[in-house]
Copies of this chain bind each other. A is one copy, B any other.
């Protein structure tokens, strides 16, 4: 880290800072410029934690230099990671397509959808059993009953399965029925849940928070990995901006940025990012072109009557057409599905 002093900081202020740094067991390098002096701190900055140097006399600002996430950081793990989930693998050599309804509504519905998306090329079935909804008066999901349908659908189709968890209880239930759990955008910084998911060891799909920076997102992944579970896949699902033409703004640049900052696989959810069915196919192609390792897409047998997020769900015919097109895009970067 770098400490930038105010112009004309007196000698005693400089000496105070240097003294704090050195008595913490660290090394201080001074660069005296015409306008300001800066002090480079070399060593493990956590040793400084009890000295809030931002408020020491004549300090202008502190500039951090290294990222606080280590286990998820590509600087220290240069090779991209592949993660095995049930029968499927997520990583640089394939294009993973996860598809299914926003909310699980019944066993028949789920199995109908599972068979259809499998035929089109999906290797994962998604479906919500615990639904975080803005209003308490909206449909909240079938809970454990929904998880049982997921297990059934897996038995019938062989698809890997992924379900959102929202609490310790839902996690305890989910590990019994599905292959992968999802941490939704609203829980990306529910650190208690991150730790529990980390301890469970189950593969995790970690969605980006509604307005989380990429740094905060990788720190959230760090919470999981620090508990010993390195099976983490990141999922970009749109961020909150001032633009209201789409429900969220898909931050497609996050894909190449993540590829440079972390070794973890990255997938994209164009359904939640846009909230509008017509925009899902172009954004799905986009994600593949940007280098994503996979997609999560909402598909419903009858979107007009879906209990949740119908307006962004594709019909079976639309999903079939999209996967046909996606195969050509995937082939351009040597991937298949």
A226 contacts which chain B residues (CB < 8 A)?
Answer: 136-137
Kindly state whether residue A10 has any CB partner on chain B within 8 Å.
Answer: no
- For this chain, the copies found in one complex come to 4
Kindly state whether residue A145 has any CB partner on chain B within 8 Å.
Answer: no
- B-contacting 9-mer, from A81-89, A115-123, A146-154, A280-288: A280-288
Q: Is the interface of A mostly helix, strand, loop or mixed?
A: mixed
Report if A52-B303 is in contact (Cβ < 8 Å); known contacts: A242-B211, A249-B249: yes
- B-contacting 9-mer, from A26-34, A90-98, A106-114, A199-207: A26-34
A43 contacts which chain B residues (CB < 8 A)?
Answer: 33-34
Whole-angstrom CA separation of A328 from B216 in the bound complex: 36
- Per the 8 Å Cβ criterion, residues 258-288 of A in contact with B are 260-261, 273-274, 277-279, 282-283, 285-286, 288
Cβ 8 A contact of A289, one of B56, B136, B244, B286: B286
Q: How many residues of A contact B (CB 8 A)?
A: 107
A19 contacts which chain B residues (CB < 8 A)?
Answer: none
The reply to whether B38 and A311 form a contact with Cβ atoms under 8 Å apart is no
The reply to whether A219 and B2 form a contact with Cβ atoms under 8 Å apart is no
The reply to whether B213 and A242 form a contact with Cβ atoms under 8 Å apart is yes
Kindly state whether residue A335 has any CB partner on chain B within 8 Å.
Answer: no
Report if A274-B245 is in contact (Cβ < 8 Å); known contacts: A31-B40, A55-B310, A168-B168: no
A210 contacts which chain B residues (CB < 8 A)?
Answer: 209-211
Kindly state whether residue A290 has any CB partner on chain B within 8 Å.
Answer: yes
CB distance from A12 to the nearest CB of B (A): 16
Whole-angstrom CA separation of A243 from B230 in the bound complex: 25
